[in-house]
Amino acid sequence: MPVISVSVDAFLVAATTVLVSTALFMRRQPDLLTLRNALTLLVVFHSLSVLYTLLVLWPPNIFQRLRIPLTTPSETIRTALLQSAGLPQDTPLPKPLDTLLTRLSSFDMRTLYVRFGQTVIQDCEYCTTFDEYLIFAAPRIALGYVKEAAVVGLLTIRGSGHERWRTYAVALLVGAFIVEGYWIATTPIGIPRDGLNVFMWHDNLWLMRHLFFLALPVLIHNLPQSPPKPSPAPLLTAARTQLQQTQQQLVNARFVHAAAQRQPALRAASAEWWERQRAEGEWARADDHVRRAAEKLGKGIQEGAEGPAGKLSQRAKMALRQIFESLGLAVPQ
């Protein structure tokens, strides 16, 4: 049974409380023009919209409004409506209400009333079967979920810090829509003989749906924010500076090499160092254990071999070829 009083005064009190609290919160912010504050205002106005719907636009239900059993005959309902309005008994009812009372003459239609609500039974002029009422009611329910998904999308836009929650929130909305549709379509409707204490599925599902719509944006907005992604600009600047320095060093290396060859002492020291490196390399390449370990790692050092056995050797030759080409030197064969 509904537990929220349909009252404009209640909405005004709630709206005033929310707006005053928001204004006090905003005054404490050093900078008002931020994305976070804009999303906070979105949550506030969305919450006020849902509260207005809950407190003022509650779906009509003549049985709860008149406090009469669901099994009350249509003529008795007509009489009770005229009495509550203070009208003579011979006063004609508005056409929508008259059509509704005519349809409520059928017990099956009352079970559909519990399942789909008064608005659907009253507004769908061509509907006569369960499937037709279901097709008429489904788009209205789906539209509410689509609107909520749009709000969730705005709350999880890039820069909000909640981008990673978008998928979970949308999946939760889709799951809630499927569960609600399943309940509406398959739940058996039980009406006791006295027609009292009937669980109004439409009204209660409507209440739970809007409470879910009220809580979800607030929850998303207050979830922990992801740390902002670092800008690639500083990294690109550092990489560019390093590449420029490396290029300059490679250019200088060309002249250093030529200058070193003109000095006998430097030329002899260079030749001695390269000879030592060559000897140590031959010792390592001649070791069977080193060869087998290199092949297992896919870094074979066998000269002239194809595949893993000579992979490292091929990479070394390619690297040396690129270095010699960048320095403008002849590639040794």
Residue 239 has a pLDDT of: 80
The answer to whether 185 and 157 have CB atoms below 8 angstroms apart is: no
309-318 per-position pLDDT tens digit: 556 667 777 7
- Is residue 151 classed exposed, middle or buried when 0-12, 13-18 and 19+ CB atoms within 10 A define those classes? buried
The answer to whether residue 5 scores a pLDDT higher than 60 is no
The answer to whether residue 167 scores a pLDDT higher than 80 is yes
- Please give the Cα distance from 84 to 100 (Å, whole number): 17
The answer to whether residue 308 scores a pLDDT higher than 60 is no
The answer to whether residue 152 scores a pLDDT higher than 90 is yes
Residue 286 has a pLDDT of: 77
Residue 204 has a pLDDT of: 93
- Please give the Cα distance from 249 to 329 (Å, whole number): 15
What number of CA atoms fall less than 13 Å from residue 316's CA on the CB side? 11
Question: Where do runs of H (alpha helix) occur along 198-231?
Answer: 201-222
Residue 1 has a pLDDT of: 38
Which residue is associated with the tokens 């560019």?
A: 240
What percentage of the chain has pLDDT greater than the value 90?
27
106-115 per-position pLDDT tens digit: 889 999 999 9
Give every CB contact of residue 39 below 8 A, 6+ residues apart in sequence.
154, 155, 160, 221
Structure tokens at 47: 């919450």
240-269 per-position pLDDT tens digit: 888 888 878 777 777 777 777 777 887 788
Nearest to 59 by CA among 189, 202, 187: 202
- Please give the Cα distance from 266 to 274 (Å, whole number): 12
pLDDT grade for 4, boundaries at 50, 70 and 90: very low
Structure tokens at 178: 């499927």
72-106 per-position pLDDT tens digit: 888 898 888 888 878 888 888 888 888 888 898 88
More confident residue, 3 or 206: 206
Distances (CA, A) of 137 to 49, 133, 181, 185: 22, 6, 10, 11
The answer to whether residue 140 scores a pLDDT higher than 60 is yes
More confident residue, 228 or 54: 54
Structure tokens at 212: 């879910």
188-244 per-position pLDDT tens digit: 888 888 888 889 999 999 999 999 999 999 999 888 877 766 667 777 788 888 888
Residue 284 has a pLDDT of: 76
Arithmetic mean of pLDDT over the chain: 83
End-to-end, the C-alpha distance of the chain in Å comes to 91
pLDDT grade for 3, boundaries at 50, 70 and 90: very low
Residue 120 has a pLDDT of: 92
Residue 143 has a pLDDT of: 94
Give every CB contact of residue 84 below 8 A, 6+ residues apart in sequence.
65, 66
Give every CB contact of residue 177 below 8 A, 6+ residues apart in sequence.
141, 142, 145
The answer to whether residue 146 scores a pLDDT higher than 90 is yes
For 159, the 3-state DSSP assignment is coil
pLDDT grade for 26, boundaries at 50, 70 and 90: confident
